[in-house]
Structure 1
Amino acid sequence: MRYLLTAVLFFLWLPTVLQGLLYHTYLWQLKEYRLDRMLDFYQTNRRMILRNTLGWVGWSLVSLVFPVVGMLGLAGLALLVGRQFERHQLSRPVLTGKAILTLAGGGITILILLTGLVTFRALWWVLLPGGETLSPEMQTLTRGFVLLRALIPVFVALTVGVIYLPSEIQKRRIIRRAMGKVTAVHPQNIIGITGSYGKTSTKTFLTTLLTAKYPTFSTAGGTNINIAIAQQILRDLKPASAFPALPGAPNPGELQMVVEMAAYTKGEIANICRTAPPNIGIWLAVNEQHLSLFGGIEGTVEAKYELIAALPPDGLAILNGDDPRVMAKCAAWPGRKITFSLQDPTADYYPTDVRVEPEMLHFTIPRIGDSASQQTDQSTPSTQFSVPLAGRHNLSNLLAAIAAAHAVGMSLPEIAEAAKAIRSLSGTLAPRKGRKGTVLIDSSYSSNPTGVRAALDYLAIFEGKKKVMLFPGIIELGEESDRIHRTLGVEIAKVCDVLILIKEEFAEPLVAGVSSSPDAKTEVLRNLDAGEIFQRLERLAGRETVILFEGRGTGRFLEGMADDAKTFRDVG
């Protein structure tokens, strides 16, 4: 009987340990194994974390004195893990090398301590006698299992700390090799792109334009931190001569390199610029994204400006004329500057005759002279563009890409023709066909205040349809978080008929904002598990419904509601 109880206890405990290791490794991976981002997560969610910590500590202390309580708690946890597994709600990391090391380190730590627990179980009984309800061995095991499970966050954090130093040494070796390869390949232009939002879209647009005429290397997907950029350089960067010949290319040696540059603290973009020294820099905009990590909006401005500061004396800065912070910061920069704008007709790149359709942007660019380009399009009075993109917000990013391609040497007619091949980036307001003819809008790539407003603007063009929004909230906004979420709640109430909150972290200020709207008619759904959310979406689905999936974490609901991979044109 004793062995049976021991086996039952072990198999109750084991799934809770696996769940804990997977979740905390996933969390560190999500925060890129960075202590500053983890501390910000704890600060932002301090009430929830304090409540959970007090619960774990209380359970552990009570279990030391009354082991039966610990056994009952383990049984409850095992049932909860089983429910999460059944509903596909278990958080787990992508199994990269670092994640596997972290999981292995945490598991080995637990195994070592468990061995010590079994070896010295008699000493535990002497120190903490637990009455006659359970045998001394069962009481010892129960206490040990409870403590080991409660300390998993500590074990994972210690493992991350242990592998930090060798990981940093390896990173620096990779970055040095990447710097050498960039020097050896010697691209004609290295174009850096930064900003609080829009980087990946602009990079993708620009890469599409440039590849129509030049051999082009571009950082992939959301690759935008120094080590990931360096790894891709070592893997994919090659001389222009290694690219297949392009029809009509003026010079096969004119290799272009496009690099997306992100930062969470000052100095990170400067480091990327040492790895891939830019001669053209695109600064898209500044907003509150990751505000808590930069210590304020001025810290964000300083960090993004590092791209412009890294440009050589004959370099070119391409700036968003609609962002006063960008323009003010760059006013004293002595190099050549050109601007793009949706509001200022005097900007170098300003669109006219703008027409927005659900999946198409139409606009005209007037003739651009020498002030904005190394060449002059005097023979072309204006150039019309029809680009298959969803949402007016894409126009600013597209103008930045057009300006860079023009500066490199493409004519506006060449750019307009190449732009026909541009497609919406997955997860950035890409419409899809859903079940029952529902229009699904995929904005699940990431979320920031400006992006949410752009998504709401796009949602508003679907007049006469029931508008539903799934939203988890926006992380890393620091002390401005409540204010920003309340403001977004007001704006959501103006557009949406239904708001489904998939997380509770930012629910209170969002609900307060929705409720404070003068004509608040938005139904807010919260405290739903994944199964209940799917059921609600199924009931809301129909040809008269459009659903916006805004922010990370909404993608799985989108895939669950998608009919197939068809686009909005196929909905009819």
Structure 2
Amino acid sequence: MADFNAFVIIFLIIFIIWLPQAIYQILVWSYWWQVKEYRLDRFWIFLKTADGRQKLGLNIIILKFIVLVFSFIYIPISLLLFFYQDLILIKDLFQKRARKPVITKRINKIYITGFFGIVLTIFAFYFLGFRRALLLGEFALILTPYVGILWTIPIVKRVKKEEIQKAKAVLSKIKPTVIGITGSYGKTTTKEFVAHLLSQKFITAKTEGSENTEFGIARKTQKNVFNGTKFFVVEMGAYKKGEIRKLADIVNPSIGIITGIEEQHLSLFGSLQDIKDAKYELIESLPKEGIALFNLTNEYCRGLYQKARQANNSWKILGYYAGQKRINFNEKPDIVLTPEKISSAGCEFELEYENENKRFYAPIKGLHLLQNLAAAILVARQFGLSWKMIKRGIETLVMPEGTMNVYRIKNNVLVIDDSRNSNPSAFSSALDYLSLIEGKKKVVITNGIIELGDSSDYIHFRLGKEMKHSIDKILLTNKDFYESFKKGLGKYIYKLVL
């Protein structure tokens, strides 16, 4: 009896020390699985980066395994390590830095799976002994979130199928004109601009935020499309070929906009050609009398524009251009926006459309946003909006959250939040905007740009070169890109802080 009581006391001490850090690890790993949309390809790429390993606490996890393997020598060393992890949890909770996923039905099922892993560890204490049970428990902490993802896949597929059917029923009943928007960058802002301008005359629905997956689109269709809705503006995202086609099959767009092509998510697509093919799926999904719009400011979009014109189809092919320098085209853009007066508050620009010249002011921060606005104006004109309506819409534009939002805080400090955008074009454009602000020190805080594949080193090198003269300090939060930025900055390396 005494031996059993001693076992129980030791078990309770070990379990109480082990459990908090175990729960926290499940929370953190579940959080990052959710951020990566439960996709093994995205999570694996994240895991291979130094930033990913740090955020997942992989070094500490490896250390725990090493200590447990050799803990037959002195097991309290393991307890000290677990206790150290508990202190980190307390600190993160106190500083409100603890990572935890958004609560959904799926994440709750993943939590339950993790709970079973903990229960299994409790039973293992009795049958395997403390050291082996803890080893088993640590394996369970890593595996159970993914096991939870795997066994919920059939449930998710069934629910997704039901949601898609409901969305299709809504669209079949209401019959709005659906505008699909895709590209490597500018999707969300273009969607917001298009919907805002059309809403000056028509009842217009849109997907929300950056929701651009099958689930997100299906559910926002049911939520936002109702009787009387004339237009439904849909953002479409993808990481692989075939995914845009699936989204188009849900909403059946009659208008497609490709906002631009670059190396974003190259590590997932595999090649730049695959990115172009994937985005072009939107155009291929249009009906015979569909309208296709291409951003002719972008080199790769110009290629897709020519491809669409050469296709044996009756699509209406339109192109838009925005910028200070006109590029020679085989075909003239249908609309051209040329910035005339640029300030930190907004942009005054000249518009050319069907032999008309107009001048407008837009409260947008960043020249790249003129490209998105050009697409919106072109769509608005296709559906009969007057210049008066368009002017009213332009002057009342509101930027999406995390897209060139400017805040003034204490001591006259300006904070520019462009955290939603994580692509090379937006990064360069944000730097251009900073150059318009005079008389202030300029500090860039960046995590770098993820999932660029083989292009990552060159792109971060190029961004470093762009910043070496115009930026006073660069605070880099991801050491994966340190060497690339360092090479780009050259002798101005002193500006870079990791």
TM-score where L is the length of structure 1: 0.79
* Secondary structure of residue in 2 paired with 1:439: strand
Shift of 1:180: 2.1
Encode CA deviations 1:484-532: one digit per residue, 9 max, x unaligned. Answer: 2222222222221111122333233223322x25xx2652222xxxxxx
> Could you list the runs of 5+ residues in structure 1 that have no partner in the other structure?
125-139, 244-254, 370-380, 527-572
Alignment of 1:71-470 (within 5 A): 71-111=79-119, 113-120=120-127, 124=128, 140-141=129-130, 143-187=132-176, 189-240=177-228, 255-333=230-308, 334=313, 335-342=315-322, 343-344=325-326, 346-352=332-338, 354-368=340-354, 381-470=356-445
- Provide the rounded CA distance (Å) in 2 between the counterparts of 1:509 and 1:351: 34
Change (3 A) 1:85 1:64: farther
- In 1: Cα distance, 2:172 partner to 2:72 partner: 62
Q: Within the alignment, does 1:523 sit opposite 2:495 as a pair?
A: yes
Compared with structure 1, are the counterparts of its residues 77 and 46 closer, same or farther at alpha carbon in structure 2 (3 Å cutoff)? closer
Higher mean C-alpha deviation, range 318-327 or range 202-211: 318-327
For the residues of structure 1 that align with 2:198 and 2:217, how far apart are their CA atoms? 19
Structure 2 unpaired stretches of 5+:
none
Count of matched residue positions in the alignment of Structure 1 and Structure 2: 479
- Classify the secondary structure of the residue corresponding to 2:71: helix
Cα contact 1:320–1:327 (8 A) shared by 2:
yes
CA 1:56 to 1:300, structure 2 compared with 1: closer, same or farther past 3 Å?
farther
What is the CA-CA distance between 1:57 and the residue it aligns to? 3.4
Q: Does 1:31 align with 2:17?
A: no
Distance 1:274 1:34 in 2: 21
Check 1:6–1:308 CA distance in 2 against 1; reply closer, same or farther (3 A cut): same
Match of 2:15 in 1: 10
Mean CA deviation greater in 283-292 or 381-390: 381-390
Counterpart residue identity of residue 347, structure 2: L
Cα distance in 1 for partners of 2:419, 2:51 equals 26
CA gap of 1:352–1:485, structure 2 versus 1, over 3 A, is: closer
- Residue 252 of structure 1 is matched in structure 2 by none
- Give the drift of 1:475: 1.2
Give SS of 1:15's match: helix
Contact 1:344 1:350 in 2 (8 A): no
Q: Note if 1:501 corresponds to 2:476.
A: yes
CA contact (8 A) 1:62 1:69 kept: no
Superposition deviation, residue 68 in structure 1: 2.7
In the alignment, residue 70 of structure 2 is paired with which amino acid?
A: V
Tell me how far 1:400 sits from its aligned partner.
0.8
Partner of residue 544, structure 1: none
Relative distance call for 1:325 and 1:367 in structure 2 (3 A) is closer
C-alpha separation in 2, matches of 1:47 and 1:414: 47
Bigger drift between 229-238 and 43-52 goes to 43-52
| CA displacement at 1:4 relative to structure 2 | 5.4
Distance (whole Å) between structure 1 residues aligned to residue 21 and residue 53 of structure 2: 20
Distance 2:49 2:247 in 1: 28
Is the 8 Å Cα contact of residues 44 and 478 (structure 1) preserved in structure 2? no
Tell me by how many angstroms 1:354 deviates: 2.2
Tell me: CA distance 1:387–1:401, structure 2 relative to 1, closer, same or farther (3 Å). same
Give SS of 1:161's match.
helix
CA pair 435-353 structure 1, distance change in 2 beyond 3 A: closer
CA-CA distance at 1:16 after TM superposition: 0.3
- In structure 2, the CA distance between the partners of 1:329 and 1:52, relative to structure 1 (3 Å rule), is farther
Q: State the 1:353 CA deviation.
A: 5.3
Structure 1 residues 64 and 354: CA distance shift in structure 2, 3 A = farther
More deviation, 358-367/286-295: 358-367
Tell me the distance in 1 between the aligned counterparts of 2:272 and 2:192: 27
Q: CA deviation at 1:360?
A: 1.5
Q: What letter matches 2:162 in structure 1?
A: R
- Structure-2 residue corresponding to 1:69: 77
Shift of 1:210: 0.8
Q: 1:475 & 1:151 partners in 2: Cα distance?
A: 29
Give the secondary-structure state (helix, strand or coil) at the position aligned to 1:389. coil
The 3-state SS of whatever aligns with 2:496 is: strand
- Paired with 1:46 and 1:414, the residues of 2 have a C-alpha distance of 47
Secondary structure (helix, strand or coil) at the match of 2:442 reads strand
Contact 1:391 1:429 (8 Å CA) reproduced: yes
Q: Secondary structure of the residue that 1:351 maps to in structure 2?
A: strand
Residues in 2 aligned to 1:32 and 1:208: alpha-carbon distance in whole angstroms: 29
Distance 2:405 2:91 in 1: 33
By how many angstroms is 1:109 displaced?
2.4
What fraction of aligned residue pairs are identical, expressed as a percent?
Answer: 30
Kindly indicate whether the alpha-carbon contact (under 8 Å) linking 2:334 and 2:353 is maintained by their aligned counterparts in 1. no
Residue 45 of structure 1, CA deviation: 4.3
